[in-house]
């Protein structure tokens, strides 16, 4: 089974709209997109910490319809033959925005997996520092979660 680590950035917890989404597979494949969002819905934090990081990845801006099509196509491409994919997220809103991005057409071979308790925060911090990456960029945060992910001693999540 392949694991896909996901992170999203969004406007605000109370007026929730996707801003960007990043996915990184355990084999290293990546997907990143930025979508139009209502500026008026952005919290002060998003204005200060998230919006300045947009535009760093070439050709990432797309419509929500295009995001749905491209994301489902990417998942199909990275999936191992006749195998399930675990969509690993550390925050429930990431999963909620992911399924919204694919218009709730979750393939039967995609399984949600909450990994918050499996993220080593020290390793995650060191990842950002080592690679000189800022936090609160969906692709960088997905990469950091992959780097900091640790299975429990019994091999289960």
Write down the pLDDT at residue 151: 82
pLDDT tens-digit profile of 45-61?
999 999 999 999 999 99
- For position 113, which CATH number holds? 3.30.420.10
- For 127-135, the CB contacts below 8 A with 24+ separation are 134/53, 135/49
- Domain boundaries, position 47: 2-148
Q: In what order do the strands lie in the sheet with 2-10?
A: 30-34, 18-25, 2-10, 85-89, 110-114
In the chain, the number of structural domains is 1
Residue 154 covered by a domain: no
Helix (H, G, I), strand (E, B) or coil at 149: strand
pTM metric for this prediction? 0.94
The answer to the question of residue 120 being in a domain is: yes
pLDDT tens-digit series, residues 7-43? 999 999 999 999 999 999 999 999 999 999 999 999 9
Phi and psi, residue 61, nearest 5°: -75, 130
Check pLDDT > 70 for residue 106.
yes
The answer to whether position 155 is within a domain reads no
pLDDT in tens, 93-105: 999 999 999 999 9
């Amino acid at each position: 089974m392949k694991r896909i680590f996901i992170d999203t950035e969004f406007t605000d917890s109370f007026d929730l709209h996707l801003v960007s989404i990043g996915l990184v597979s355990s084999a290293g494949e990546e997907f990143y997109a930025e979508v139009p969002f209502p500026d008026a819905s952005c919290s002060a934090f998003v204005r200060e910490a998230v919006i300045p990081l947009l535009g760093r990845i070439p050709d990432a801006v797309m419509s929500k319809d295009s995001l749905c099509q491209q994301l489902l196509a990417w998942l199909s491409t990275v999936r191992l033959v006749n195998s399930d994919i675990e969509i690993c997220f550390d925050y429930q809103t990431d999963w909620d925005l992911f399924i919204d991005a694919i218009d709730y057409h979750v393939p039967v071979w995609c399984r949600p997996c909450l990994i918050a308790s499996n993220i080593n925060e020290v390793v995650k911090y060191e990842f950002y520092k080592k690679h000189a990456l800022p936090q609160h960029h969906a692709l960088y945060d997905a990469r950091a979660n992959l780097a900091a992910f640790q299975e429990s001693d019994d091999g289960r999540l």
